[in-house]
């Protein structure tokens, strides 16, 4: 079985899908690994490192794609590269089937096997493959670091002979994986942390990290069977707005993480709320790429609205590409191990396996 990975568009994606440690594991499993020239150079990983492990390095990207059985990527390949794919080849990555519907349907007609890892079921057996959790964990951490860098005051409380500097107050909107890591990071750095989420199950997790959970009166539990947040009712949204309106008056930094899979991000921080925030406050919007949780979020721009700085990026993980690549590569290897029949030396698409059935795009 021949496996490969080619470079992503470096302007939007600096992560790689196969790291040296994971390359060793693929080769040990029996795969013949080939990589594109300069595959990891931008991360300080020379071609020699991969070759010493046993990988083959090729200049011709076209031949790499045409001659492999399994392609491991971050996102969907470009249209030019997709045109090279043929029947029975397998592609594994974060393919975003909601956004790339037409391209994926075209590939399915060519009988290319497509596995999109953001569709993994939230079951115990899939935890080691959960790319959403591993990457969101890093994103939550980095969002706090980036917002603190833009906040022009000290974060922890400091008592000096000249007076006391109060601790910064942080609000985390959405207490999923990214939100929980944001809470933990902000707390470690000395901030007073508040959090809100539509899923009542988050309350205990937030409080275990030292955060204060803000509860909407008469709140319903808006959680899907898969553990994701679902759309809130109009009544809930109104009550949440009232709670946030008052809370934001005393908040210095907001980390927004609220997302609904496959849909535009909900607008949670409204115009009037921002106007009532303190001048110099910062909002980091991790939902920017899906429209944002604020009324003014612009991707890759720092927006100043009424003295409040609002920021969000296309891909915050480009600022942690080595750590993010290491985790992503391990997640994908665990997925491929489950997909690969070592005895028959072939990809085994066993639709009775929930992990395979849920991630296969039909």
Q: What is the torsion angle, in degrees rounded to the nearest 10, for the CA atoms of residue 243, residue 245, residue 246 and residue 248? A: 110
Instruction: Compute the C-alpha angle 54/359/2, nearest 5°.
Output: 20
| Residue 131 near residue 112 (C-beta atoms within 8 A) | no
Which one from 34, 133, 135, 240 is the annotated catalytic residue? 133
- For residue 228, what pLDDT is reported? 53
pTM: 0.90
From CA 290, how far away is CA 299, in angstroms rounded? 9
What's the rounded mean pLDDT across residues 201-219?
87
What's the rounded mean pLDDT across residues 332-349?
91
Known catalytic membership, residue 127: yes
From CA 319, how far away is CA 312, in angstroms rounded? 13
Known catalytic membership, residue 228: yes
- For residue 159, what pLDDT is reported? 95
| Residue 278 near residue 302 (C-beta atoms within 8 A) | no
| Residue 118 near residue 359 (C-beta atoms within 8 A) | no
Closest CA to 200 of 178, 232, 170, 171: 232
The tokens for 115 are 């596995």
Closest CA to 45 of 85, 4, 14: 14
From CA 27, how far away is CA 23, in angstroms rounded? 6
What's the rounded mean pLDDT across residues 103-115?
91
Q: Residues 6 or more apart from 137 whose CB is under 8 A from it?
A: 177, 178, 181, 327
Residue 342: CB atoms within 10 A of its CB come to: 12
Q: Topology of domain 2-119+321-359, per CATH?
A: Rossmann fold (3.40.50)
Which one from 127, 208, 233, 278 is the annotated catalytic residue? 127
Element (H, E) at 70: strand 70-72
CATH of segment(s) 132-318: 3.40.50.720
- For residue 150, what pLDDT is reported? 97
Which one from 15, 36, 39, 130 is the annotated catalytic residue? 130
From CA 28, how far away is CA 200, in angstroms rounded? 44
Residue 212: pLDDT above 80?
Answer: yes
194-204 pLDDT, tens digit per residue, is 999 888 889 99
The tokens for 114 are 């497509």
From CA 316, how far away is CA 255, in angstroms rounded? 13
Known catalytic membership, residue 133: yes
Report the chain's C-alpha Rg in angstroms.
22
Residue ranges of the domains in the chain? 2-119+321-359, 132-318
Q: Do domains 2-119+321-359 and 132-318 have the same CATH topology?
A: yes
| Residue 250 near residue 281 (C-beta atoms within 8 A) | no
Which one from 106, 122, 323, 353 is the annotated catalytic residue? 122
From CA 83, how far away is CA 19, in angstroms rounded? 26
Could you tell me whether strands 158-160 and 340-341 are parallel, antiparallel, or unpaired per DSSP bridges? unpaired
Annotate 230-275 with DSSP letters as a single string. -PPPHHHHHHHHHHHHHHGGG-SEEEE----TTSPPP--B-HHHHH
Residue 301 pLDDT level (bands cut at 50, 70, 90): very high
What's the rounded mean pLDDT across residues 95-109?
88
From CA 128, how far away is CA 146, in angstroms rounded? 28
217-272 pLDDT, tens digit per residue, is 655 555 555 555 556 677 777 888 889 999 999 999 999 998 887 788 999 999 99
From CA 67, how far away is CA 89, in angstroms rounded? 9
Instruction: Compute the C-alpha angle 111/360/98, nearest 5°.
Output: 95
From CA 289, how far away is CA 295, in angstroms rounded? 13
The whole-angstrom distance between residue 68's C-alpha and the CA centroid of its chain comes to 28
């Amino acid at each position: 079985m021949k496996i490969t990975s080619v470079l992503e568009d470096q302007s939007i994606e600096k992560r790689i899908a196969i790291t040296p440690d994971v390359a060793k594991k693929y080769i040990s499993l029996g795969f013949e690994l080939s990589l594109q020239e300069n595959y990891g150079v931008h991360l300080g990983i020379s071609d020699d490192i991969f070759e010493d492990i046993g990988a083959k390095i090729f200049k011709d990207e076209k031949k790499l794609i045409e001659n492999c059985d399994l392609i491991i990527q971050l996102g969907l390949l470009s249209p030019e590269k997709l045109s090279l794919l043929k029947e029975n080849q397998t592609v594994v990555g974060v393919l975003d089937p909601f956004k790339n519907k037409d391209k994926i349907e075209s590939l399915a007609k060519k009988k290319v096997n497509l596995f999109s890892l953001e569709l993994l079921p939230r079951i115990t057996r899939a935890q080691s493959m959960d790319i959403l959790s591993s990457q969101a964990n890093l994103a939550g951490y980095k969002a706090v670091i980036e917002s603190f860098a833009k906040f022009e005051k000290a974060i922890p409380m400091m008592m000096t002979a000249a007076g006391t500097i109060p601790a910064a107050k942080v609000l985390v909107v959405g207490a999923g994986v990214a939100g929980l890591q944001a809470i933990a990071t902000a707390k470690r750095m000395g901030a007073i942390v508040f959090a809100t989420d539509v899923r009542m199950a988050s309350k205990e997790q937030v409080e275990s990290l030292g955060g204060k959970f803000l509860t909407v009166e008469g709140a319903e539990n808006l959680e899907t069977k898969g553990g994701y947040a679902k759309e809130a009712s109009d009544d809930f949204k109104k009550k949440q707005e009232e709670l946030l309106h008052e809370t934001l008056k005393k908040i210095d930094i907001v980390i927004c993480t609220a997302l609904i899979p496959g849909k535009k991000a909900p607008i949670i921080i409204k115009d009037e709320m921002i106007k009532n925030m303190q001048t110099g406050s910062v909002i980091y919007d991790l939902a920017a790429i899906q429209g944002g949780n604020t009324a003014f979020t612009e991707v890759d721009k720092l927006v100043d609205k009424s003295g409040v700085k609002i920021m969000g990026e296309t891909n915050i993980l480009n600022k942690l590409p080595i750590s993010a690549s290491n985790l992503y590569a391990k997640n994908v290897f665990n997925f491929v191990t489950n997909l690969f029949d070592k005895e028959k030396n072939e990809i085994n698409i066993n639709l009775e396996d929930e992990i395979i059935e849920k991630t296969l795009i039909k």
